[in-house]
Amino acid sequence: MLECPPINPGSRVRVTQQVPTPDGAWTTAVEGTVQRFRQATTGSWFAHSKDDRFWLDRLEMKLDDGEVTILNLDQYSRIETV
């Protein structure tokens, strides 16, 4: 599981994610309230890991405008409490 500060439902966090590109990195940040933090499987049938599924760290957040979003976290994700 991803190393990060303790994340509990109701906590306010800012998540910054980067996607490496040949010219540098594409960076985006989102801020909101934690709904749930868990590991969940994908529908990937070829992963050949636990239960033949690929497991991802997922953070479900509610944004200030009421939108609910699910972020797939990886080594380029940074989480900070706000």
The 12-21 sheet, strands edge to edge? 68-73, 55-63, 24-41, 12-21, 78-81
56 band by pLDDT with thresholds 50, 70 and 90: confident
Tell whether the model's pLDDT for residue 59 goes beyond 90: yes
- Tell me what percent of the chain is helix, strand and coil, each rounded to the nearest 5: 5, 55, 40
The pTM for the full model equals: 0.78
pLDDT at 7: 83
